[in-house]
Amino acid sequence: MNPYKKLAAALDNRMSVHASSAVAGMPAELGTITAGGLKLDRFKHEISDYYVADWMAKLLLPAFTISGTVTGLSSSNAPVTGEGAFTFSESEVDDVRIAFQSGLKAGDRVLAIPVHDGNDAVILCKVVK
C-alpha cells in the first residue's frame, strides 16, 4: 500500500475525531431565511431577531493578469484610452471581514445554532447544494 495513502487516511481519521468532539453538544441545524427572520427546520416559530457570525480572515491572492480597457486617465493633460493587460503580484491581506449577512435573502438556506433555549439563533454560514 502507498505510504502516503496510509498517512492521509490516518490524518483524516484523527481530524474527524477532533471535529466530532469539537462540535459535540452544539445542536447546529439547518434553517431558511424568511421575509420576517429565520425559520429553523426543527423549531416551529420564526426567529425575527437573530445573530450572524462575524468572520475575519486572511485573504490570499495569487498572481494573476487581467486584460481590460483604460479610460478616464490623462497624460500631459491629454486623455489616455486603450486596451491593456494589468498584472498583479501575489499578495496577502490581513483582517478581511466576511460580511455575508448583507447577502442573505429570503429563501437562502443557512446553518445555525439555537441559543437562549431556542429563543435566539446564531447563523454560522449560508449553505448551498
> pLDDT > 90: what percent of the chain?
37
Name the grid cell of 83. Answer: 486596451
Determine the pLDDT at residue 112.
94
- 47 and 106 together in one domain: yes
Q: What CATH number is given to the structural domain containing 45?
A: 2.40.50.140
Q: How much is the pLDDT for 52?
A: 93
CA distance 71 to 129: 40
84 within some domain:
yes
Domains in the chain, number? 2
17, part of any domain: no
Q: Is residue 62 part of a domain?
A: yes
105 and 92 in a common domain: no
Least confident range from 16-25, 39-48, 98-107: namely 16-25
Q: Evaluate whether residue 81 is within a structural domain.
A: yes
User: Given a cut of 90, is residue 75 above it in pLDDT?
Assistant: no
Q: Which domain holds residue 48?
A: 25-54+99-129
Q: Are 120 and 46 in contact (CB under 8 A)?
A: no
Q: Are 28 and 124 in contact (CB under 8 A)?
A: yes
**pLDDT per residue over 53-74, tens digit each?**
988 899 999 999 999 998 888 8
